[in-house]
């Protein structure tokens, strides 16, 4: 078959199958809140995934420990792929018989994601376990005694299975036994810079976070895992006085090859309830994904600041 004939045959099948109609139909199938928030924050409609499944939380909603991230870190184009959504539906065992079942199975799948995703090693999840390693047992996350010390001794191809088994166990525990919340549930690979005048559009999402955090009376530890939360909360408390108390002195320590690491203690006051928390400014540092021992030291430092907080 000649090249021109092959091109016409293949493209003809796509053309005759109403490909363009389905593309438009898919473009119309979107989460308007994600699109509107993207426009409000960045002036563009596609900075967040508008077609893929959102990620509101993973883990135990009644857990004693809550770690809050900015948003699910996933490429927008990949997340918007309908085949990726189909795979996510299967992984979460979601039912599509009715809207109630769709929502209910989504929540169950989010709670059990650590179990559904048990075979995959993810450094971002594992480093959360390293961060919590030296927090008290009442944080609720069971971390093996030999982690992270044993990881370095299992280097090399010959130890790959043993190393992966250890990391898979660590990952599953940290995903299942704590609650991970996202400030924004819509995925993006990176969180672009936002001017102060636009940050106010995130205030309703802060309220959603606080409502979920205080929903459970057993909460013990709350960790906001980004420097961005400091700026967000400074602006939020200016708009809503009395909601957040922020320590006027950031705590600093040096243990990452001479680089400064920071955290700040805060207190959240919400609907007559109050809880102290910590902003882990340095948690997202891109030099730390595999540096489990350094992340462990940083976590221990943050706990010490939390424990000795003036709040």
Question: Would you give per-residue pLDDT tens digits along the chain (311 residues)?
Answer: 899 999 999 999 989 998 888 888 888 889 999 999 999 999 999 999 999 999 999 999 999 999 999 999 888 999 999 899 999 999 999 999 999 999 999 999 999 999 988 888 888 899 999 999 999 999 999 999 889 888 877 777 777 788 888 899 999 999 999 999 999 999 998 888 899 999 999 999 999 999 999 999 999 999 999 999 999 999 999 999 999 999 987 888 776 666 788 999 999 999 999 999 999 999 998 765 568 889 999 999 999 999 999 88
| Dist. CA 173–CA 225, nearest whole Å | 19
| Dist. CA 57–CA 67, nearest whole Å | 10
pLDDT for the residue numbered 256? 65
pTM: 0.92
| Dist. CA 97–CA 202, nearest whole Å | 33
Query: Nearest to residue 308, comparing CAs of 261, 247, 245?
Result: 247
């Amino acid at each position: 078959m000649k090249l021109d004939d092959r091109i016409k045959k293949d493209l003809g099948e796509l053309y005759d199958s109403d490909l363009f109609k389905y593309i438009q139909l898919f473009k119309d199938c979107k989460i308007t809140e994600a699109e509107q928030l993207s426009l409000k924050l960045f002036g563009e409609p596609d900075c967040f995934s508008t077609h893929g499944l959102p990620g509101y939380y993973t883990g135990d909603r009644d857990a004693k420990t809550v770690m809050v991230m900015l948003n699910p870190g996933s490429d927008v184009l990949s997340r918007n792929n309908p085949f990726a959504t189909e795979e996510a539906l299967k992984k979460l065992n979601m039912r599509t018989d009715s809207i109630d079942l769709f929502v209910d199975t989504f929540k169950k799948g989010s709670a059990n994601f650590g179990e559904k995703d048990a075979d995959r090693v993810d450094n971002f999840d594992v480093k959360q376990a390293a961060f919590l390693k030296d927090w008290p047992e009442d944080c609720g996350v069971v971390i093996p005694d030999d982690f992270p010390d044993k990881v370095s001794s299992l280097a090399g191809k010959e130890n790959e299975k043993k190393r992966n088994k250890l990391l898979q166990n660590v990952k599953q525990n940290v995903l299942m036994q704590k609650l991970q919340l996202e400030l924004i549930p819509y995925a993006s690979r990176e969180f672009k810079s936002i001017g102060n005048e636009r940050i106010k559009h995130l205030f309703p999402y802060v309220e959603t976070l606080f409502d979920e955090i205080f929903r459970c009376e057993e909460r013990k530890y709350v960790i906001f895992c980004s420097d961005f939360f400091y700026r967000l909360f400074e602006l939020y408390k200016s708009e809503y006085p009395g909601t957040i108390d922020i320590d006027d002195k950031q705590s600093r320590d040096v243990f990452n090859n001479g680089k400064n690491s920071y955290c700040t203690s805060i207190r959240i006051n919400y609907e007559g309830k109050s809880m102290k928390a910590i902003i882990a400014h340095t948690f997202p540092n891109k030099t730390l994904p595999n540096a489990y021992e350094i992340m462990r030291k940083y976590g221990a430092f943050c706990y010490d600041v939390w424990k000795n907080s003036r709040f």
